[in-house]
Structure 1
Amino acid sequence: MANLTFKDFKSDQEVRWCPGCGDHAVLAALQRALPKVSQALNYEKERYVVVSGIGCSSRLPYYMDTYGFHSIHGRATAISTGIKVANPTLTVWQACGDGDALAIGGNHFIHAIRRNIDINVILFNNQIYGLTKGQYSPTSKFGAITKTSPYGTVEHPFNPGSLVLGAKGTFFARSLDSELKLNEEIMTQAALHDGCSVMEMLTNCVIFNDGTHKAISDPAVRADRTIVLRHGEKMIYGKNRDRGLVFDGRSIRAVTIGQDGITEDDIAVHDAHSDNIGFHMALADMKDDLPVALGVIRDVKDITYDDGVRDQVKDVMRSSRIHCMDDLLRSGSTWEVK
């Protein structure tokens, strides 16, 4: 196998996103992650295909030197499903936006997760429709003033993590566009996961929704308002690494190490492989005085749809009396004309 590098996955196309757009960083992370995936799985570059729908993030296939498919609005998941079922040897990466995937494409999105189709979904979440010039999306904050909500939205937004886990997702991760190394790590783990992997990337739209994630992405507050989760490690965070999470079996709360008798031994260990989906849902939905969880929140094994289809076809072929067109033509009532 060739020793693939970042440059091998970079196409010759000019990247036409706005300067400062968070999509640039996510693209770079993917291009840096795939050589590591290739080395880990012994994959040639021809096994990769990148699929997208419609939106700013959906330009990503043009910038990847792989097979690609730029589909239509909201239907990237349907195309990804067809590709993976038709050719299970391919590793399918899907780029989609919060409007593209969760509004018009919401039906396909949740059922791909429910079926556990072995595709890798990168969900770019800038909480706005960018390509169509600033309408509110399913993840826009309650009360957001946009082109289509000039007096503020009057509906509650989706939490993509809760949506994925509510559909019994087997892999969910979240990160910020600026966390390049963490994003490489997440994408590599997603590729190694056998099943539907959803990676929510919190991206910034400098034109229509600038600073939408500032409350957690600002370097001055990021360490105190986010926590990077890694399987098997204590859930500790904070600028001084003196904050942590404890889990009582039902809910999560933040504590300060060294106060009220709390020691590092009291801090919970993150278990991304746990069967306790309630624990993962609590992590994905942390708010108020709790930090926003970044990193791989859930990574569990289950049967995949594409494996199920493959095995079913093999079983039918073994038991069928029809193995070729001639068998089919002679399978019913036949007669000979002389």
Structure 2
Amino acid sequence: MTDFAVTPPSTASQRAAISRRFAPSDRVFHGLTLAAALAVLILLGGVIVALAEGALPAFAKFGFGFLTTEAWNPVKERFGALAPVYGTLITSFLAMLLGVPVSIGIAIFLTEICPLWLRRPIGIAIELLAGIPSIIYGIWGLFVLAPVMQRHVQPFLISAFSDVPLLQDLFAGPPYGIGIFTASLILAIMVLPFITAVTRDVFETVPPVLKEAAYGLGSTTWEVTRHVVLPYTRGGVVGGIMLGLGRALGETMAVTFVIGNAHRIHASILGPGTTISAAIANEFTEAVGDLYTSSLVALGLILFVITFLVLAAARLMLLRMNLKGA
């Protein structure tokens, strides 16, 4: 009886010869890819070391109070990171609160509802939004969006919530036009194409047989999306949201134009504020003295830590989701 599992000697020798012939190139390829991976780690470590070294004088001077102090007075050399950190977190949160539902809705429309002839034009338009420079968004926000907010949107919000507990403080104050809420709207528009593009691509990876089976059982489009598409692609959707959040946390120029650049914390989201990136962009070139410069570098280190913690939390959440799914 012939054993077909045994490889003929000629075939085995040919494979061995091919392996020996390509062994040097494989080692070179392995070395290049390893060097590229290590280079990323080295660059990241260099950034961390540079930020930590530059921020050391500020933390040595103010200690933990640097994170809990709102004061920012370059003349008296009193610096605190609380206002920029608050502005960064609140604008990013509001941007995701406004942008994520719209982005996922657009992705659902493109993959499940939109006619074939309309999908490509809308997809191209969304991708073009991602290519617009941030300074253009800032200029548009300052000269177009801010006047609309000042004349129409903010007065309406102030009037509508003037007698509602809690919300009356959240939407209070004179209608400046610029401020935290306006900056959040700009960020929501900026992160929308990134989240939409990623979400649309992962929605298209759902096997058609799963959706066809659900439709065959009488499910509606909403039920198919909720019970088939979203559970199947939740990891990719969360990844797209984290990509947009990373863009919102680090955005500089567009926010600088419309946030008001005030180192103050307001209960109202209509008031002016600042973010870490905006503060660094506005003041780094004018920083006089080692302590002033060190405080700005410390802000950069804090932003780095915030971004790292957000990404780590996202990875942990994805891991728990995968474990529950398994």
Smaller-chain TM-score range? under 0.3
Structure scoring higher RCO (CA < 8 A, sep ≥ 6) equals 2
Structure with the larger strand share: 1
